[in-house]
Copies of this chain bind each other. A is one copy, B any other.
Amino acid sequence: MLSVEQSISSLMQNSKRLADGETIDLIDACGRTLADSIIAPIDVPPADNSAMDGYALRHADGQNGRVAIPVSQRITAGSVPQGLQPGSAARIFTGAEIPPGADTVVMQEHCEEENNAVRILKLPAAGANIRRRGQDLATGQQVLQRGLRLRSQDLGLAASLGIARVPVYRRLRVAVMSTGDELRDPGDELQPGQIYNSNRFTMRSQLAEWGFDVLDMGVARDDPAAVREVLQESARQADVVITSGGVSVGEEDHVRDVVESLGAIDLWRIAIKPGKPFAFGHIMGKPFIGLPGNPVSVFVTLLVIARPYLFACQGIADPVLAPMRQTARFSHKVSQREDYLRVRASASGLELFPNQSSGVLYSTSWGDGLVRQKAGEEISDGSLVDYFPFALFN
C-alpha cells in the first residue's frame, strides 16, 4: 500500500503544467494563475507624498513656533505642487505630493492657521509624515510570482503598479464522468435499486470552485461501449479526465478495461480512509484519475489527492497544503490507514461527527474541515492534531 504522502508525491512527479498562457484584463483575473512573475514597473509611491492632512515646510523654518509662516500654496491629492519658497509653508492633504523644497509635514492638529499664515505649535522631527517615493515598492522588485493563484489583494497590488492586463494560464479543462446504472439525477423519480447521483454535483462544483473549465460528461451506462465513447470524447476535449466509480475489481466495473484499451491505468492501493480504490493513468495521452464511487471517498480523495495534481496541471506553484494544529475534543482509535475525519471547530476545539462511515456524505456537510489522523497515530481528548478547514482547499 502507498501512503498518502507517497501517492501525492508520485502524482506530483508525473505532473506537468497542461494549460498555456493568455493575457487578460486585471479585473477578471481573480482566482486565475499567473503565467509570469510581475516586476514593479514603477516606484510606489511614485513620489514623496504626505501621510497626513497638515502643512509642508522646511524643517528649519518651523523651529520658532511663535512666528507665523505664510501659506503660499494649497496642495490636494492629485494636484501638482509648485516649488516651496524658503520661509513659506504649503497647506497639504493626505496623499498629496510634497512640494520640492519641503522636507517635513506638520499634522494639522499641531498647527494654527490665521490670515493665510500658519503657526507651528509642535514641530515633529525633520522628514516626519512623508511617505517616500519607492518606500513601499521599488522599480524592478519582483512582487507577484509565476504560479500564484491571484487573490483580491494581489489584484489591488498589481493595480497599484499600473498593471492593467496580466499573463495567466488559461483555465484547465477537466472532464468529469460518473458510472453506474443505479444513478439517477435529482428531480427524476427513483425506481427500485436506484440512488441519486451526488458525485456529479460534488465534483463538478468543487472543480468549478477551483477555477477549472468543467466538462460535465454525465453518467455512463455500465456498458463497455458506452463507457468507451464517453471517455474518448472526454480525452479529446479535456486536459484531464476524472471519473467516479467503476475502478474496483468487481465484474461490473468497466472503466478499468476501457481506460487500459485506450491508454494505461494503474490501480493504486492508497492507505487512506475513506478513499480507496484510486486509479491513475492516461487516455489517448491525457491524464486519467479514477476516484472511488463512494460519495465521502470521492470528496476526500478529490481534496487530498487529486487537488495538488490538478493544481500542478493548472500551473499553480506549491499546491500541497500545510495543516493547522488544533486541539481534538474527541478520541479516535488508531488506524493502519491515514484517516480523514470529518470534524467541526468550536471554541474549545474540534468535535468529531459521530458516524465516520464513508457512506455518510452528511458528515462532510455537518463538518467544517478534516482532521488528518496519520497511520498509527493515537488521538485522545486534548491531543494536538492536523486540521484542514474546508476553506483552505478552495
* Bound complex: CA A155 to CA B208 (Å): 13
- Residues A47 and B192 in contact, CB atoms below 8 Å apart: yes
Partner of A190, one of B42, B154, B205, B345: B42
- Residue A226 is within 8 A (CB to CB) of chain B in the complex: no
Chain B residue numbers with a CB within 8 Å of A77 are: 180-182, 193, 222, 252
- Stretch binding the partner chain, chosen from A56-64, A65-73, A136-144: A136-144
Q: Does A286 contact B (CB under 8 A)?
A: no
- Chain B minimum-CB-distance residue to A368: B151
Q: Which of B81, B205, B322 lies in contact with A27, CB distance below 8 A?
A: B205
- Of the listed residues A197, A209, A250, the one surrounded by the most CB atoms of chain B closer than 10 A to its CB is A250
Q: Identify which of A97, A209, A391 gathers the most chain B CB atoms within 10 Å of its CB.
A: A391
CA–CA, A198 to B249, complex, Å?
A: 55
Interface CB pairs A-B, < 8 A, 22: A26-B186, A27-B205, A31-B209, A49-B195, A75-B193, A81-B192, A94-B248, A95-B293, A136-B355, A136-B362, A152-B206, A152-B209, A153-B390, A154-B365, A156-B198, A158-B201, A159-B196, A159-B197, A162-B196, A163-B186, A325-B326, A391-B392
Residues of chain B with a CB closer than 8 A to A293's CB: 94-95
**Contacts of A78 on B, CB cut-off 8 Å?**
180-183, 193-194, 222
In the complex the two chains form, what is the Cα distance from A317 to B47 in whole Å?
A: 45
* Shortest CB distance A136–B (Å): 5
For the A-B complex with A93-B251, A160-B361 known, give 11 more contacts whose Cβ atoms are closer than 8 Å: A27-B204, A75-B193, A76-B252, A78-B183, A80-B191, A136-B362, A152-B201, A155-B201, A155-B202, A159-B186, A325-B326
Contact partners of A271 in chain B: CB under 8 A: none
> Complex: how many Å from CA A26 to CA B391?
20
Determine if A295 is an interface residue (Cβ-Cβ < 8 Å).
yes
Query: Given contacts A96-B193, A193-B81, is CB(A201)–CB(B159) below 8 Å?
Result: yes
Asked if A115 lies at the interface with its beta carbon under 8 angstroms from chain B, I say no
Chain B residues with CB below 8 A from A49, complex form: 195
C-alpha spacing A150/B93, complex, angstroms: 45
Judged by a CB distance under 8 angstroms, whether A337 is at the interface is no
CA distance A165 to B197 in the complex (A): 15
Is the Cβ of B248 less than 8 Å from the Cβ of A200?
A: no
Q: Within residues 108 to 139 of chain A, which ones have a CB less than 8 A from any CB in chain B?
A: 131, 135-137
Within 8 A of B (CB), among A188-240: 188, 190-206, 208-209, 222
Please tell me if A364 contacts chain B, counting CB pairs below 8 Å: yes
> Which residues of chain A (239-257) have a CB below 8 Å from chain B?
248-252
* A22 on the B face (CB < 8 A): no
Query: Are B202 and A152 in contact, CB atoms less than 8 angstroms apart?
Result: yes
* Cα(A208)–Cα(B252), bound, Å: 45
Chain B nearest CB from A145 CB (Å) reads 10
A285 at the interface (CB under 8 A from B): no
CB pair B187–A30 under 8 Å, yes or no, is no
Let me know if B160 and A198 touch, CB within 8 A. yes
A132 → chain B closest CB, angstroms: 10
CB-CB under 8 A from A391, the residues of chain B are 389, 391-392, 394
CB <8 Å contact, B162 and A186: yes
Nearest 3 CB-CB pairings of A with B: A78-B182, A164-B187, A156-B202
Question: Is A371 at the interface (CB under 8 A from chain B)?
Answer: no
Asked if A362 and B143 make an inter-chain contact with CB atoms under 8 angstroms apart, the answer reads yes
Cβ of B80 and Cβ of A193 under 8 Å apart? yes
B359 near A131 with CB under 8 A, answer: yes
